[in-house]
Copies of this chain bind each other. A is one copy, B any other.
Amino acid sequence: MPDTRVFLLDGGSLVLDGFHVFWNRGPAGEVRFPVYSILIDHPQGRFLFDSGYDLAHVQAVLPFEKPQQTAEQTIPGALGLLGLTPADVGVVVNSHFHFDHVGGNKFFPHAKKFCHAAELRQASYPAAFEGLGYSDLSFSVAAAEARGKADQLLPGATLENTAFEGLEGDVDLAPGLRLFHTPGHAIGHYSLMVEFNARRPILFTIDAAYSRKSLDTLCQSSFHIDPVAGVQSMLRLRQLAEEHDAELIFSHDAESFAGYRISPAFYGSPEAAAD
């Protein structure tokens, strides 16, 4: 069986204050960090995990995050660099529905879509302080209509072709593709472990730990709905990494990102000499 290959699709970057990246600790000041999506070329098909941010949305709604994104850093652009189009992806999974993880979902009306069931409710009925996090509703007709944002939807979006299968708890999506429920940052947040034939597993923390420093210091971001659960999720990620001898890859960490293999390079294939 061919080995799974994992491509990190560079999605550009955003800026936050240091007090947001490292909750209440900082230091203050602008921190620019990467955003990326994860394309998994699996024996059972292609899975896309998260879909980055939509540049026009951020420019309109969160311009203070100073988005920098080229055409090749959009989902269609990044797939194009691999000779692929959105139609080549069969399954889309969202770690959670914050704007910087769902911006490209709109290009996958044909795909099967998964998320944590709680996240569907949350995007439609967010807490008072979650409005900006869940501000891009283009991924779901149901959520966009619940929030009065149907104007964000692309022509052709329907309840059916933006529907998700809502999951609960930890789930094996396919052999070697494992979702771990890691709430805190978002109530329905999933982290992702990918197992390979020929190399160590990779554990993508996603936003349960923006960076290695976050995990080392148990300092979550200031964007969260349940900080007690957030600490528990970080402790769980540490334990999972140890139990599975997994390589940790973080979500919004410029320093770590500089050392990651970015698409068209990839992780996991036995043909990849560096493995």
Contact = CB atoms under 8 A, between A and B. Distances in A.
Interface of A: 17, 19-20, 23-24, 26, 28, 127-129, 218-220, 222-228, 231
Can you tell how many copies of this chain the complex includes?
2
A54 B128 CA distance: 34
B225 A23 contact: no
A129 B231 CA distance: 9
Contacts of A128: 218, 231
B17 A219 contact: no
Contacts of A222: 19, 23-24, 222
Contacts of A226: 226-228
A23 B129 contact: yes
Contacts of A20: 19, 24
Contacts of A19: 17, 19-20, 28, 222
A225 B232 CA distance: 13
A93 to B, nearest CB: 26
A123 to B, nearest CB: 16
A225 B24 CA distance: 12
Nearest 3 A/B pairs, CB to CB:
A19-B19, A128-B218, A128-B231
A210 to B, nearest CB: 15
Given A23-B129, A28-B17, A128-B218, A225 B225 contact: no
